[in-house]
Structure 1
Amino acid sequence: MNGEERKGLSSQSPDEAEDKEKDQRTVTVNPSHMGKAFKVMNELRSKRLLCDVVIVAEAIEMEAHRVVLAACSPYFCAMFTGDMTERKAKKIEIKDVDGQTLSKLIDYIYTAEIEVTEENVQVLLPAASLLQLMDVRQNCCDFLQSQLHPTNCLGIRAFADVHTCTELLQQANAYAEQHFPEVMLGEEFLNLSLDQVCSLISSDKLTVSSEEKVFEAVISWINYEKESRLEHMAELMEHVRLPLLPRDYLVQTVEEEALIKNNNTCKDFLIEAMKYHLLPLDQRQLIKNPRTKPRTPVSLPKVS
């Protein structure tokens, strides 16, 4: 090697030499590798080979591999790597999940497949939450969201609230607001608590073509269990925007309603609405209270 060749080699910086070496290497990623590996692990499980733990729920026993469960479920990972007594136990009982549901979730851990149905979603979601299988939990939420209907949206909303499914809770609540005229006819609405009814009918986003629907909903809810609910009439009527009702409806329907006649506070709300109608249009705008504020639903024009 002559002097010029040696000079050319020595003039290369370490970074340049490293980049040149990288250019000469190829990294390949096999996208099917993980799938194949889990398929083999599931086959081993089905043949009870290399299994090192038995998961028990109710009367059902499931053999499995700790490392697979720990890799897919933070719940099992904490159990098998922490200071819990289950860390070295050969048989572990899970008390908060029924056997059939737990079996489905362990199958999911190995196969990434699970079927969510109307029959199993209410037990599957809390079980997935316990095992911290967040993909399954989200699948359950997505399924419930796709099943929203005026006859079940309030029940789904309550279920989402109990299990802290924030997005589903918001979706179900919005659905109830947007379909209120149909929702108010159902059993779920009639079984709501006072606070839940107040929260729903006070919403600015309630979708009603006329405030008449809100008034009718209040009367229906009271009459459903009249004896125990009669005392709440004034508290509910506070959220009905009587001034936005047509004058004829106020006179012919609201004023003639016995539940209004027998409640002094409700009669005051009616008088307020009648006075509102006696004012010139430009003066009505000066009255600012929740009952004179038009609702602003997402899908319908403002109530007038």
Structure 2
Amino acid sequence: MACRADAELKPESFKFTVLSEQINQLEEDDSALHMKEPDVIPDTTLRVEGEDFYVNRQQLALQSPYFRALFFGCGIESTKKRIEIKGVGLQHFRVLMEYSRTSNLALDRENVLGIFETADFLQLEQARLLCCKFLERELHLSNCLGMMAYAWRLGCTQLYKAARQVVLTHFSAIAAEEDFLSLSKEAIADLLASDDLAIHKDDFALEATLRWVSFDPKREEHFLELIELVRPESLSLPFITELLTKMKSSDPRAKLIYMLNEHFPASWSVGRSLKRTRARETLFVLGGPHDQEQQALYQFHPLSGRWQSCAPLRRKNLTQYSVAAVGNG
């Protein structure tokens, strides 16, 4: 896709919430993850952006596969006493070298992302975990989508799960945000498929899917696949009625609604055990304005997965069908 959904979410775009306390060290986590090493004698010089760092090969090799391969691998660097490290920033490298020596990692909102990426590059796993824990404390509705994508890119499972849980818990609000449109198809599918998706009705799931797909015409090929994950038993009557009335309107989503009406997903036909809501055998939908003398009635048949138009009903007869409809309508 050529739209924003393909663009990587840059760390600079995250909106971090202000904490009431300045977290410079994660002492309780550090003590569990990283035992302080005794003072050792430097035997190698690492050079980054013109600055020299005097380090002990064995000490760094024990902390990082990157340095283990650098110092004790088959490369030419293993025979050198002065090695230039490229691809890292001086400021963040300096903090990590201090951490490798003292086990104290100074983190704040300004440097945590840079240190995280540098630790990831240098394979300093314990420093990387501390960055993940710091970022978990910074999670908020305003940044959880970006943080989820960022954690996925860097392979930080713990941070990804924490950010994902915020999204699942506040899905209705987050799906309305602009950043939601930047999620990948796989991320959208993962959220829709979750039994932990905290929504009262799947109206929100279907609405979010329509919004995401209609953002880019190229996403239409994914529409039916994503709709498979929406649970029809949990759709409310007013919402479905509104969709059906827009099927032949100028609404930009009309094409998608028509596609859904013509190609109902197989999962909507067979029924399944759901945690989000309780399924019913038959779903009735009243179409058209409620002030009309007669209204169209649509019936959903799970076995065939189709909506069928029934004979128009007079208003005095509508009550009996409301009772037969799904309970959360």
TM-score category, normalised to shorter length:
0.5 to 0.7
Counterpart of 1:250, as a letter, is: I
Shift of 1:263: 4.8
Specify the structure having the higher radius of gyration (Cα). 1
Alignment partner of 2:213: what SS? helix
1:154 alignment counterpart: 145
Q: Retained in 1: the 8 A contact 2:37–2:102?
A: no
2:230 corresponds, among 231, 235, 240, to: 240
Whether 1:180 and 2:186 are equivalent positions in the alignment is: no
Deviation string for 1:113-156 (max 9, x for gaps)? 12223333333223223433222111011112222222322222
- Equivalent residue, structure 2, for 1:25: none
Superimposed CA distance per residue, residues 24-50 of structure 1 (whole angstroms, 9 cap, x where no aligned partner): xxxxxxxxxx97953xx6xxxxxxxx7
The code of the aligned residue for 2:282 comes to: Y
Distance 2:63 2:222 in 1: 50
Whole-angstrom CA distance in 1 between matches of 2:54 and 2:226: 56
Q: Contact 2:43/2:55 (CA < 8 Å) preserved in 1?
A: yes
Cα distance change, pair 125–289 in 1 and its aligned pair in 2 (3 A)? farther
The equivalent residue for 1:249 is 239
Is 1:208 the counterpart of 2:214 in the alignment?
no
Determine the structure 1 residue equivalent to 2:211.
Answer: 220
Pairing 1:73-84 to 2, within 5 Å after superposition:
73-84=64-75
User: CA-to-partner distance for each residue in 1:236-276, whole Å, 9 max, x for gaps?
Assistant: 33333233222232213454254246654311449989983
AA of the residue aligned to 2:225:
E
TM-score (norm 1): 0.66
Paired residue for 1:265?
259
* Aligned partner letter, 1:276: T
**Partners of 1:160 and 1:238 in 2: how far apart?**
27
Contact 1:178/1:207 (CA < 8 Å) preserved in 2? yes
Quote the Cα distance in structure 1 between the aligned partners of 2:280 and 2:53. Answer: 70
TM-score norm. by structure 2 comes to: 0.62
Higher relative contact order (CA 8 A, sep 6+): 2
Quote how far apart the aligned CAs of 1:207 are.
0.8
Whose strand fraction is larger, Structure 1's or Structure 2's?
Answer: 2
Q: Which residue of 1 aligns with 2:188?
A: 197
Q: Matched residue of 2:282: which SS?
A: helix
Assess, with a 3 A threshold, how the Cα gap between structure 1 residues 151 and 122 changes in structure 2: closer, same or farther: same
| Cα distance in structure 1, aligned partners of 2:196 and 2:163 | 13
Check if 1:117 corresponds to 2:108: yes
Among 67, 76, 95, the residue aligned to 2:86: 95
For residues 60-117 of structure 1, the C-alpha deviation after alignment (integer angstroms, 9 at most, x for no partner) is: 3323343543454443344333433222312211123222211111111122212223
Cα distance change, pair 243–36 in 1 and its aligned pair in 2 (3 A): closer
SS at match of 2:47: strand
1:205, distance to aligned residue in structure 2 (A): 1.8
Task: Encode CA deviations 1:187-211: one digit per residue, 9 max, x unaligned.
Answer: 2211112232222223222111222
Paired residue for 1:3?
none
Cα deviation 1:7-30 (Å, max 9, x = unaligned): xxxxxxxxxxxxxxxxxxxxxxxx
Q: What's 1:276 paired with?
A: 282
1:136 aligns with 127
Q: Cα distance 1:260–1:274, how it changes in 2: closer, same or farther (>3 A)?
A: farther
Q: 1:163 aligns with which of 114, 130, 154?
A: 154
The answer as to whether partners of 2:36 and 2:103 remain within 8 angstroms in 1 is: no
Amino acid at match of 2:74: D
Q: Which amino acid aligns with 1:141?
A: C
Q: Is the 8 A contact 1:56 1:62 kept in 2?
A: yes
Deviates more, 1:230-239 or 1:245-254: 230-239
Equivalent residues of 2:47, 2:85 under 8 A apart = yes
Structure 2 CA distance for aligned equivalents of residues 249 and 36 of structure 1: 62
Q: Report the 3-state secondary structure (helix = DSSP H, G, I; strand = E; otherwise coil) of the residue aligned with 1:150.
A: coil
Counterparts of 1:239 and 1:150 in 2: how far apart (Å)? 24
The question of whether the paired residues in 2 share the 8 Å contact of 1:247 and 1:274 is answered with: no
Q: Secondary structure at the match of 1:63?
A: strand
In structure 1, stretches of 5+ residues that fail to align are 1-33, 42-49, 280-285, 291-302
